[in-house]
Amino acid sequence: MVKTLAMNDFIFTLNSGTRYELSQPGWLWLIPVFLVFTVIFYFAKDKYITKSTAASLAEYSTKQPLLHPLINLLITQSGQATNIRSFNLINFVIFSLLIIALTQPVRMGEKLPEPPQERDIIFIVDTSVSMILRDYILNGERIARMSLLKVVLDKFIQELKGERMSIIVFGDHAYTLVPLTSDQTLLRNMLSRVQATMAGRFNAIGDAIALAVKQSSQFNNTKKDSKRKRVLVLLTDADQPTGKIEPVIAARLAKMAHLPLYTIAIGATSATAGEKQLGGLLYSPVDLTLLQQLSSITGARNYQAGNPNALKNAIRAIHSHESNKRSVKPVYFREPLYYWLLISAFIIFSLQQFIAVLLTNYKRNTSQ
């Protein structure tokens, strides 16, 4: 029993909740046309071979010998064999099944996941020597800044399915570790190889931001890519910036390229959180003032990851602020059903022909 029916989309919803749709409903007009023709032929009095025609054929056969040996059988059964009625319920059912198969009926299942957001997210990861400082406490134990950054960033990458991401690492110089790609496996594998001092001991923040701006521009030179939202995420402790480009100038370049630069301060902002035994490394807290200045230039925000949960919340906040969802119609799982109609029509047609052959043989045997 039909519960709801949307004729505009030809979607039928049954009481059981199952939804059906006709993808090509325009073929349905053939059914009433066929019905009209069958009714006309049904009431027509003319037949292919009438009884008078059969009698004339019998009279002609007595005067002119015919070569076909079964002419007598043809004459005696012509009234039955050729008295074809155009209106046949079985033929109408077969024809209707074929027409409905042309409409491509489908059964609609669960709603498919929405397409990924069209975003390019470039993570700028600090790998200077200060990232080995252990000013985070997790489960009662101190962990390094780099260790926490990799764990949280790995989980964040897993959530961004289908989006393009890139990883830039910087120390003395800035390098592209992974160019923009949607391959999560590649991103996670390369992230696991990131280590402190892999790009040098110092902190070329400005060079890294400029490299990210250049990479983002190179990957967005088509009309399709221009609709993608581009985001820069800088994860650093801003410890004594070095490099050829000043961080503030690099941030202005990002602003000119319409790239929001989100900054996440990794580490504590006070020297009291430092570890007592540093092995000769001078402890330096996060330069929060510089990071706030860089993000404000581009109209973005700065987050302080004072603890593991704060870092996780900062990344999720960036994810929600820079959303780029497309307004698309819901897409559902569609199971085609046309082949069941074709199989049914074939079975009915085969049975009809089989029964017709049996009846013909039976009448022939009884007439003899």
The reply to whether the predicted model has a pTM over 0.95 is: no
Look at residue 11 in the predicted model and tell me its pLDDT.
63
Note whether 136 and 149 are within 8 A (CB): no
Answer left, alpha or beta for residue 105, where phi above 0 means left and psi between -120 and 50 means alpha: beta
Strands (E) across 237-328 are located at 261-266, 302-305
Look at residue 326 in the predicted model and tell me its pLDDT.
56
Burial tier of 145 (Cβ tally within 10 Å: 0-12, 13-18, 19+): buried
Look at residue 75 in the predicted model and tell me its pLDDT.
46
Backbone angles phi, psi at 156, to 5 degrees: -65, -40
Domain coordinates in residue numbering, the chain: 2-111+332-367, 119-321
Assigned token pair, 93: 């059912």
- pLDDT tens-digit profile of 143-186? 888 988 888 788 888 877 778 899 999 999 999 999 999 899 99
Strand arrangement of the beta sheet that strand 105-111 belongs to? 2-6, 11-14, 19-22, 105-111, 332-336
What string of DSSP letters covers 20-83?
EEES-GGGGGHHHHHHHHHHHHHH----SS-HHHHHHHHHHHHHS--S-TTHHHHHHHHHHHS-
The CATH number that domain 119-321 falls under is 3.40.50.410
Contacts of 156 (CB under 8 A, 6+ apart): 315, 316, 319
Look at residue 126 in the predicted model and tell me its pLDDT.
92
Look at residue 336 in the predicted model and tell me its pLDDT.
86
User: What stretches in the chain show pLDDT beneath 50?
Assistant: 1-8, 48-51, 66, 75-87, 278-280
Burial tier of 29 (Cβ tally within 10 Å: 0-12, 13-18, 19+): exposed
Look at residue 195 in the predicted model and tell me its pLDDT.
92
Backbone angles phi, psi at 214, to 5 degrees: -65, -45
Look at residue 210 in the predicted model and tell me its pLDDT.
94
Look at residue 248 in the predicted model and tell me its pLDDT.
93
d(CA 368, CA 364): 6
- Torsion sign (Cα): 269, 273, 279, 282: positive
